[in-house]
Amino acid sequence: MASFSSYIFLIILFIISVGASEIKSIYLPGTYQSSLLVKKHDEKTKIPFKTHYFPQILDHFTFLPRSSKVFYQKYLINDQYWHKEGGGPIFVYTGNEGNIDWFAVNTGFMIDIAPKFNALLVFIEHRFYGDSMPFGNNSYKSAKTLGYLNSQQALADYAVLIRSLKQNLSSDSSPVVVFGGSYGGMLAAWFRLKYPHIAIGAVASSAPILQFDKITPWSSFYDAVSQDFKDASLNCYKVIKGSWAELDALSTHDDGLIEVSKLFRTCKALHSVYSARDWLWEAFVYTAMVNYPTEANFMMPLPAFPVEEMCKIIDGLPKGASKLSKAFAAASLYYNYTQTEKCFNLEGGTDSHGLHGWDWQACTEMVMPMTCSNESMFPPSSFSYKEFSQDCKKQYGVKPRPHWITTEFGGYRIEQVLKRFGSNMIFSNGMQDPWSRGGVLKNISSSIVALVTQKGAHHVDFRSETKNDPDWLIMQRKQEVAIIEKWLEEYYKDLKQN
């Protein structure tokens, strides 16, 4: 069996509640990629949204006979707070890689602030996700259909839809502000840059727009995960760092699979030790991402500051216990905080929601190279464009265009470029979130600002406010509201003058 240590990287963007049995991952040889987006069934929409479908054009950027084919793009509307007559603003969530209902429910911030702004809320689903399938059940069939799935087409969808919507609502003068988290935040930021005539501002939360090419060090993501654990407890970090070798060693045993299955309390005997590795890996990465300051139920039900809780588990176990068993115990917090699971399904996750579009995106334009440095708590690994390209070719029949995103959207010397160009953007990040390393962490100009919190995690600012929110989070949201207010004031003032 191969060592764990070669070419391992995770691409996990927007991570949500997954039942242990629902984990989906595609293992490309030498490359582990995963986008875990599963609609949480037990979470109900808290405010009413009306569902609509917009006849969207398949290909905005060619005029081939097939380009004008229409598909139905889902979007949600809430107009209960909107003061349309007064030109109240339109807050648009630029949907990312999943069912839009889920984003609507989990972006409580927009709902919380809508009354204050008298805003219309619109959540637009990203093409090839949720119900917005250009070719119905055949949408994911091959490169001939998936070829239309990419960020530029998605941005153009949003532009066309918003323009049409404003026309239909006779609300031409209502300013649009776009919001997005994670990949949706990248889309919101890029939308403001590419369509400033449609959106007057963008709030991009945890948007790693600099995670491409060589802008951000490739090891930064896993170094950041490791840092979270190290900050919680040096011992904890060391235990996890040492656990992989133990798993590796087990994999060479004749009875290794049986032993690992037993140790990991799997419901069924494992087919591959890799599954155990991935299971641990995901738990640590996702827990770092959602290392929220309050109890939350975003990915999984978890206590406040779950990284610290994991480390408490590890540090509390007897010295004699194996590192692997400690790592398992810590990971169990992630998968079983509610203590309802009797056993774990580490394999055979189904993609019941048809959400594996991210894997395609990662194999075409969303190429974010990641490595594990010797200092990280993960097994060291490198990244090769060549091997990655070969894997994608094998998997999808396409070759990635790894430098396309930075050609199309920029990223290098972003301070210098946007200092002299653009305005009205908020990049919010929490340093607990490993994706923050690929985000914009410094103010660029007076109106392109970075709101960074040391204790924040993956777009925590976009979550509904709770009674237990710490001051820094309350403050961050207040700053966002104040900045949006300024954009709107300026807009209405300009409107009056013209």
Q: Does 138 bind a copy of itself (CB under 8 A)?
A: no
Q: Does 150 bind a copy of itself (CB under 8 A)?
A: yes
Phi, psi of 33 (to 5 degrees): -125, 145
Q: Does 208 bind a copy of itself (CB under 8 A)?
A: no
Give CA–CA dist 315/312, Å, rounded.
5
Map the footprint of a copy of itself across residues 365-404, applying CB under 8 A. 365, 397-399, 401, 403-404
Query: Of residues 421, 442, 474, 486, which one binds a copy of itself by CB under 8 A?
Result: 421
Query: Of residues 33, 211, 219, 424, which one binds a copy of itself by CB under 8 A?
Result: 424
- Of the residues 101, 433, 461, 469, only one is catalytic, namely 433
- CA proximity to 200, closest of 338, 89, 67: 89
Question: Which DSSP string corresponds to 54-72?
Answer: EEEES-TT---TTTT-EEE
Rg (CA), the chain: 22
Question: From the CB of 363, what's the least distance to a copy of itself, in Å?
Answer: 9
Q: Which is nearer to a copy of itself, 56 or 78 (CB)?
A: 56
Question: From the CB of 131, what's the least distance to a copy of itself, in Å?
Answer: 22
The verdict on whether 182 is a catalytic residue reads: yes
Residue 265: beta bridge partners? none
Q: Which is nearer to a copy of itself, 44 or 420 (CB)?
A: 420
Give CA–CA dist 377/372, Å, rounded.
8
Give CA–CA dist 272/257, Å, rounded.
7
Query: Of residues 39, 52, 163, 166, which one binds a copy of itself by CB under 8 A?
Result: 163
Q: Which is nearer to a copy of itself, 203 or 247 (CB)?
A: 203
The verdict on whether 254 is a catalytic residue reads: no
Of 2-10, 151-159, 265-273, 335-343, the segment contacting a copy of itself by CB under 8 A is 151-159
Give CA–CA dist 319/134, Å, rounded.
56
Give CA–CA dist 294/93, Å, rounded.
24
Residue 481, number of CB atoms within 10 A of its CB: 15
- Of the residues 182, 226, 251, 275, only one is catalytic, namely 182
Question: From the CB of 395, what's the least distance to a copy of itself, in Å?
Answer: 13
For 43, the 3-state DSSP assignment is: coil
Decide the pairing of beta strands 301-302 and 296-297: antiparallel
Question: From the CB of 453, what's the least distance to a copy of itself, in Å?
Answer: 26
Query: Of residues 26, 304, 417, 481, which one binds a copy of itself by CB under 8 A?
Result: 417
Q: Does 486 bind a copy of itself (CB under 8 A)?
A: no
Question: From the CB of 498, what's the least distance to a copy of itself, in Å?
Answer: 6
Residues 6+ apart with CB under 8 A from 109: 179, 461, 462, 463, 464, 465, 477, 480
Q: Which is nearer to a copy of itself, 442 or 478 (CB)?
A: 442
Both structure tokens of 494: 């300009």
Phi, psi of 50 (to 5 degrees): -95, 135
Q: Does 149 bind a copy of itself (CB under 8 A)?
A: yes
Query: Of residues 26, 159, 215, 441, which one binds a copy of itself by CB under 8 A?
Result: 159
- Of the residues 458, 459, 461, 469, only one is catalytic, namely 458
Measured CA distances, 294 to 338, 455, 466, 471 (Å): 16, 11, 8, 12
Map the footprint of a copy of itself across residues 50-79, applying CB under 8 A. 57, 59-65, 67-68
**Residues 132, 126: contact at Cβ < 8 Å?**
yes
The verdict on whether 42 is a catalytic residue reads: no
Question: From the CB of 12, what's the least distance to a copy of itself, in Å?
Answer: 21
Give CA–CA dist 102/309, Å, rounded.
27
Question: From the CB of 256, what's the least distance to a copy of itself, in Å?
Answer: 40
Catalytic residues: 182, 433, 458
* Residue ranges binding a copy of itself (CB under 8 A): 57, 59-65, 67-68, 143-144, 146-150, 152-153, 156, 159-160, 163, 193-198, 200, 364-365, 397-399, 401, 403-404, 407-424, 490, 494-495, 498
